[in-house]
Amino acid sequence: MIEAGQLVLLISRKGKRYMQKFDPEGELHTNEGRILMSDAAKAGFGRQIYSHLGKPYLVLRPTLHDLIKSVKRQTQIMYPKEIGYLMLKLGIGPGTTVVESGTGSGGLTTALAWTVGDTGKVITYERREEFYNLARKNLERVGLSHRVEQVNQDISEGFRHSGADALFLDVRTPWEYLDSIPNAVIPGAMCGFLLPTTNQVSELLFGLERGPFESPEVLEIFVRQWKPVPERLRPDDRMVAHTGFLVFARYMERPVDDSKSVEPSEPEAPESGGEPAVE
């Protein structure tokens, strides 16, 4: 049963994809003919329908992978291969509150909003108004904007929010904002960063060493596709290689050193009649 407002993904035999919110009275116009959304409702998810020219289309419920790949973009978005590991490493799940900076087109924001559920929250900072507005439209299109609080602000001014369970920065110079992180997250929170070059990673690692962060990790993730042809099974001729370095560290609140606040005790006076102290 497909309900009004639910996202529907239609895929042609040639692999052309169309995603839109379901309107039982709506129509989709393609170069292979007109598709009635009422036909999709009658067929249901996982079935095939036909345009008025007789061209077949699959009716599917979009996955998170589909939503990320369909984001309308003006910036480079994170690839699903990085997002999957990031979610596990940061501990993102239902009820999680996560702070993000560098919203961009909203690819990662979409994934975070999907994963935290209606009991969680994504707080995302973006300094450029055009990207702020684009991300808002992308989130509204997939019905996830109610899980996201967008902030059109440069994080050089600090974070407005505190008590987050995790934090992720996709900004050019993240080491400049490390001092603001303790006010935004809880002790023990995992923090992640995305950087394209090794010199940026080195600068960040120097910053993490000086701050209250533990267990740094640096990695990149490769995915190699294979040609799905049984009699000629082999890797694809090309692959998307380096897309970015992921850096992770855990924020640990430093304990207060009580010994510095203890007044030194006065030496005890020797008892009268006792032996003189030996020099």
| pLDDT, tens digit (0-9, with 9 covering 90-100), for 132-190 | 999 999 999 999 999 999 999 999 999 999 999 999 999 999 999 999 999 999 999 99
112-127 pLDDT, tens digit each: 999 999 999 999 999 9
User: What does each C-alpha distance from 130 to 47, 67, 75, 139 come to in angstroms?
Assistant: 39, 21, 11, 14
Determine, yes or no, domain membership for 87: yes
Cα 22 → chain centroid: 27
Sign of CA dihedral 48, 50, 54, 56: negative
pLDDT exceeds 80 at position 255? no
Same domain, 140 and 226: yes
Q: Are residues 178 and 246 in the same domain?
A: yes
The alpha carbon of residue 228 and the mean position of all alpha carbons in its chain are separated, in whole angstroms, by: 30
Res 263: pLDDT = 54
Residue 218: inside a domain? yes
Q: Two tokens at 191? A: 């923090």
Q: How confident is the model at residue 271 (pLDDT cuts 50, 70, 90)?
A: low
Q: 175: which DSSP letter?
A: G
42: domain CATH number is: 3.10.330.20
Given this model, what pLDDT does residue 1 score? Answer: 80
pLDDT band of 240, cuts 50, 70, 90: confident
Report residue 260's pLDDT band, with 50, 70 and 90 as the boundaries. low
Q: How far is CA 32 from CA 11, 37, 38, 57, in A?
A: 12, 15, 18, 10
115 CB contacts (<8 Å, ≥6 apart)? 64, 87, 92, 93, 94, 96
Q: Is residue 155, in this structure, part of any structural domain at all?
A: yes
pLDDT class of 265 with cuts at 50, 70, 90: low
| Domain end point (choices 33, 62, 91) | 62
Q: Verify that 209 and 174 share a domain, yes or no.
A: yes
- The verdict on 244 and 196 lying in the same domain is yes
> In this predicted structure, what is the pLDDT of residue 74?
84
Of 22, 40, 62, which residue constitutes the final position of a domain?
62
Q: Which domain holds residue 171?
A: 65-254
Q: Does 222 lie in the same domain as 173?
A: yes
> If you average pLDDT over residues 221-235, what whole number do you get?
96
User: Which regions of 147-244 does DSSP assign to beta strands (E)?
Assistant: 148-151, 164-169, 185-195, 213-219, 226-227, 234-235
| For residue 102, pLDDT beyond 80 | yes
- Does 237 map to a domain? yes
CATH number at residue 148: 3.40.50.150
108, 20: one domain: no
Tell whether 148 and 181 lie within a shared domain: yes
For the whole model, what pTM was predicted? 0.86
Asked if 89 and 208 sit in the same domain, the reply is yes
Q: What is the Cα–Cα distance from 131 to 115, expressed in whole angstroms?
A: 22
What's the burial of 67, exposed, middle or buried (CB within 10 Å: 0-12/13-18/19+)? buried
In a domain, 279, yes or no: no
259 or 174, higher pLDDT: 174
Q: Which residues contact 198 (CB under 8 A, 6 or more apart)?
A: 245
In-domain check, residue 207:
yes
- Looking at the chain, the whole-number percentage of residues with pLDDT higher than 70 is 91
Q: Give CA–CA dist 145/6, Å, rounded.
A: 14
**Is the same domain home to 99 and 48?**
no
pLDDT higher than threshold 60 for residue 26: yes
CB 252 within 8 A of CB 188: yes
Give 279's pLDDT tier (boundaries 50, 70, 90).
very low
CA distance 36 to 25: 8
CA distance 179 to 169: 13
Does the residue 179 lie in any domain? yes
> What confidence score (pLDDT) does residue 203 get?
98
- Residue 264 lies inside a defined structural domain of this protein: no
Let me know: does 36 contact 27? Beta carbons within 8 Å: yes
150 with 178, same domain: the answer is yes
* pLDDT of the residue at 278: 47
pLDDT of 70 > 50? The answer is yes
Number of domains observed in the structure of the chain: 2
Q: Are residues 193 and 83 in the same domain?
A: yes
Q: In whole angstroms, how far apart are CA 127 and each of 104, 124, 192, 231?
A: 9, 10, 19, 51
Residues 20 and 92 grouped into a single domain: no
